Structures are given as C-alpha cells and as structure tokens.
Structure 1
C-alpha cells in the first residue's frame, strides 16, 4: 500500500502538533511510509470535554476525505479518539486512534495500566471508552494533572505534576505501566519513564507504530469480505 500516514491533531494548537512531530521522528525510516502531521484548524484549542470531542468530527471527516487518495493510513491524535469510528466507516485506509492504540500497547508491557489524564473531567470520558474496550479488568487507575493545554506549555510545572500523579498510580494503584492521556504530553515520556522506573506509553507513538505495521504488511482499513 503506497501513500502517506497522516497524523491529524484534532485541536487547533500548533504547539501540540510540533510536539507530535518530535515524538514520531524516530519512526521515520528509509523504506517506510512517509508520515505527515497536520493540525485541524477548525478544532478547539484543546479537547477538554465530550462536547469538544463530538463537535470537531465533521471537520475531521472533511479534512480526511480530502487526503484519502494520497493516504496510506490515518492517525487521530487525541486521547478521546474523536471521530475514529466514523472515519473508519468513511475511509478505505487503516484508521488508528491514539487512546485505543496506547492502551493496547500498554497491555503488552505490564499486567495493570494507569492513565495520566489532563483534567478531572477527562476521566469519565476515558472510563466510558475503557469499558467499551473491555479492558477494565487490567485497569489500575486514571488520575489528572489538572492542567489545560495552554498551561502544559510550562515544562517544569507539567513534568512535576506528571511525576507526582505517576508515583501515585504506581505506588497506590499498583500500575505496572502508564499511558499518557494527552498528545500534548509527548515530550515528557522519556524523563517520566526515567523518574518512575516503569514503562510509559506515548499513545501517538503507539498508534503510528501500529499504522506503519498495517501499511508495510498491506492490511487495509476495512475487513476483507468473501462474497
């Protein structure tokens, strides 16, 4: 399958897209598919509620439709996976959501996973999704750093909050692996992992890794049918 893996940041904050670019840089390789990161200009500055997540879906589908012919796969780079299922219906290409991919990757790294959320009101949305995925039996906990996308521009503040939340998930909730619950946290994976001593999954990296595998193996977006 030829074409580009399009990683779409569904919020309109260009800084987040630059951080995604840096996070997936190690996954660009000779002989691999091109990877392009895009910002959905029509999206909200940060996706902080179910209303934010639902409201951007028409714009996301429109943007992806315009990219379809040159696409090898799509990655929806928001931990709510907004529009992922609708885009899977629309597109002939593989569609990966970073929450789904991040959690599935975590399940291969340890018995129990925890999530570092952006805000307290993110957690009910995460819990609904985890329940639908059927993974609650291996779920340790989901705790927020309580910072907006704008506030997470402060590296020292954000990393300090993430380390504190990560320690609680590890020591009190007995998480063996952590998933970062926002694409805007991407730059903190390595220092967080060093500080906590357990695996930390950056979910956009997880989704792009799966996308590369799908493209290289020729697995398309929709299941093969035998009529």
Structure 2
C-alpha cells in the first residue's frame, strides 16, 4: 500500500508561513506514518486578516481539495477556518479546521483558555465563531498582538510580544491554556510555553495530530 498523505493548506500566499508550518509539523512526520505535505494557496491574499479575506478563499480552497486525488485528509491552516464547511461538503475525506481543533485541544488541557490574536479586528470574528460552537463559557479572554500575519511569521520581536500578551491572559484573565490564534505563530509555540509555564496550543499541530490519528486508524 502507498503511504497515506495529509495535505496542510496555508490559505494565504505567504510562503514564509508555509515554511513555518513545515517546521512546526516535523515532529508529526513519522517515517512509517502518513506523509504530511504543506502547500500554499497561490491565489490567496498575503495575509488573512478580515472577513473579506476569509470569504475570498473559500471556493479556491474547495477547488484545490476537489482537484487533489491523493490526500487522505486535509487541514485548513488558518485560524478563521475559512471555507471549512463548504470544503467538507465537497469531499468525503476528512477536512480539519485549525481553530476548531486548537480550541478542542485546549479544553482537554485546562478548564479555561485564552487566545492570542494577530489584531484587534480579528477578535470579533473569533468570538462569533466560538459563540457558534457554544464554547464561550470556557473562554477566559482573547487579546491582540496588533501585528500583521507577515510580522508574526518573521518578525524578530514577535515572541517577546506574545509572552507579554500571553502573561496578561494567564495572570489577569485566568487562562489555564493558550491557543495561538494564527498559523504564522507556529514556530514560537515552545518558546511561549516555556515562558508562561502553562499549555500552549499551536492549532495547526493540533489539527494535524487529529488528522494523523484519523488516517492511521482508518488503515487498521
């Protein structure tokens, strides 16, 4: 049998974010397990930072998934879970959204969680999604970095700012775990967890781990 493949899709066109995802997912890429491949949605915006950006990639994501005949599962690597439901509608293979998976993982690690957003205007969109999922009672708070996706993926001062915001979520808001609210933050998970001394969830790792388990179990 050929090795199964999990396709992790970065819906923005910033290849630095995709490279960060590849690095963050290396611990899950076992030699005898499913291949984890990361790709960039070329027609996506450079950063998904508004509802218009979210909506603009839904159908391109679906077309990409429908045209891929080799993947056993897909991960949409953007914290707004763009196109998640329309993509699930277009395939019988599992599609995982990183926000949904990241939050569910955080709730297995702590009673309450906080979210670090890239910008203030992202928070309203995230809160609406959490309300739809019925999870507002587990949210301690969400605070912004007020940076762009590109800055979080490559900026030198990103970790220091994330530690500052994460500490406020922990000490002032009472968060028992932190969810990083942007795929571009993936490379900083370990450093942030070491600084805060509470669980820090990279949602792309969480979603890919769920996809890996699903694909592996389907083989046995």
> In structure 2, what is the Cα distance between the partners aligned to 1:153 and 1:26?
19
> In structure 2, what is the Cα distance between the partners aligned to 1:165 and 1:41?
32
Aligned to 1:115: 115
Number of residue pairs aligned between Structure 1 and Structure 2 = 218
> In structure 1, what is the Cα distance between the partners aligned to 2:142 and 2:63?
32
Aligned to 1:88: 88
- Unmatched runs of 5 consecutive residues or more in structure 1: 220-227
Aligned to 2:146: 146
RMSD (Å) for aligned C-alpha atoms: 1.3
- Unmatched runs of 5 consecutive residues or more in structure 2: none
> In structure 1, what is the Cα distance between the partners aligned to 2:182 and 2:66?
25
* TM-superposed deviation, 1:155: 4.0
TM-score by length of 1: 0.93
SS of residue paired to 2:72: strand
Aligned to 2:204: 204
Aligned to 1:157: 157
> In structure 2, what is the Cα distance between the partners aligned to 1:86 and 1:154?
31
> In structure 1, what is the Cα distance between the partners aligned to 2:153 and 2:116?
17
> In structure 1, what is the Cα distance between the partners aligned to 2:149 and 2:182?
9
TM-score by length of 2: 0.96
Aligned to 1:184: 184
**Residue 63 of structure 1 pairs with residue 64 of structure 2:** yes
**Residue 75 of structure 1 pairs with residue 75 of structure 2:** yes
4+ long deviations beyond 6 Å: none
SS of residue paired to 1:141: strand
**Residue 32 of structure 1 pairs with residue 43 of structure 2:** no
Per-residue CA distance 1:23-60 (angstroms, 9 max, x = gap): 00000112211111000000000000011000111111
> In structure 2, what is the Cα distance between the partners aligned to 1:19 and 1:27?
14
> In structure 1, what is the Cα distance between the partners aligned to 2:155 and 2:119?
17
> In structure 2, what is the Cα distance between the partners aligned to 1:24 and 1:44?
23
Aligned to 2:49: 48
Aligned to 1:11: 12
> In structure 1, what is the Cα distance between the partners aligned to 2:199 and 2:150?
26
- Is the CA contact (8 Å cut-off) linking 2:16 and 2:154 kept in structure 1? no
